[in-house]
Chains A and B, each alone.
Chain A
């Protein structure tokens, strides 16, 4: 065994001390700084798990003649202006309006009727009920990724969930 090798073996066999822990603490900080977890990843995982737990029917997105509604490059989120979502049983249209740094979301669901409508954002859920015409709105909403979860009184255990949109 060379001197270098025996020194290495000796140091390696030593118990971890305060300095080792300090070094690891600094390495952790360096790793986080060099390659931070993308902002929003934890939130979007949380949302995906929530949707998964709902065993929901995922509504398909149909863009209705709104050229500014370009899908983002990563295709995980869609910039919202006016958007229509459809499933076999329900069609939902929403429009998004800027309002003092935040947004208002107006929506309309057909066939008309009272639905429970949830707005999911980063773990926060806001709930409202549509009126008898199927209209609903959320005011004072923060910008960021969001989903709508709609529940029909006829079938409350199978919610309808929109893809993630960017408000």
Chain B
């Protein structure tokens, strides 16, 4: 099926996409430098979930993840005058969050080995298929089927779709790039991860009939 953004004039497509997080972040940084802290405070509200799940997808436990996410924001305001291109703020924050999470996970794994503790990372975006808790509130049968198929995807696809789902189209590229996935992994075409999911769903009779 043809996507509407392939047939519409570019400017209409852009207008329909609205303002993404990357644009909001850019404006918030510029405003903050001019002494207006309100847009950044509003940005904390809308962007923290994406940062949270980005950090959790690296396997950070909830306590570590809270510290990492808070530190990303503090680092942003401490270094805010040195940001050369405010439009790169979202990308910078996602990459910073990912790396900080990765470092803390590596540290805690080393601790784990040293202390021979038996703790499991329970984050679903990061957890191997067998470890994933089934306790989550899946509201409908259709969601349950979707959940199973998403869970069966390769790790990188599960993370990509789980994080891209949290943003709108204008930010797909930034999110996938921050994850280390190539540009065009998703949007304007489906890309292979979403295609895998669509094929799996279409061959599942339980999904097709509902």
Contact = CB atoms under 8 A, between A and B. Distances in A.
Nearest to A74: B63
24 contacts: A13-B190, A16-B190, A16-B194, A20-B194, A23-B194, A23-B197, A24-B161, A24-B194, A26-B142, A28-B165, A31-B124, A31-B166, A33-B136, A35-B123, A38-B66, A41-B52, A41-B70, A42-B45, A45-B69, A45-B70, A46-B44, A49-B37, A49-B40, A53-B77
Contacts of A48: 70, 73-74
Given A12-B194, A20-B198, A23-B146, 14 more contacts: A12-B189, A19-B198, A27-B150, A27-B161, A28-B165, A30-B136, A31-B165, A33-B137, A34-B124, A35-B56, A42-B44, A45-B69, A48-B70, A52-B78
A25 B165 contact: yes
Contacts of A44: 70
A15 B1 CA distance: 7
- Which of A23, A29, A44 is the most central at the interface, judged by chain B CB atoms within 10 Å of its CB? A23
Contacts, number: 129
A15 B150 contact: no
Report whether over half of chain B's contact residues are helix, strand or loop; otherwise say mixed: helix
A72 B100 CA distance: 24
B53 interface: yes
A144 interface: no
B165 to A, nearest CB: 4
Contact of A38 (B37, B62, B188): B62
A45 B73 contact: yes
Contact of B49 (A11, A30, A32): A32
A35 B201 CA distance: 23
A14 interface: yes
A52 B71 CA distance: 11
A19 B146 CA distance: 13
A16 B165 CA distance: 13
A125 to B, nearest CB: 12
Given A34-B124, A35-B53, A15 B189 contact: yes
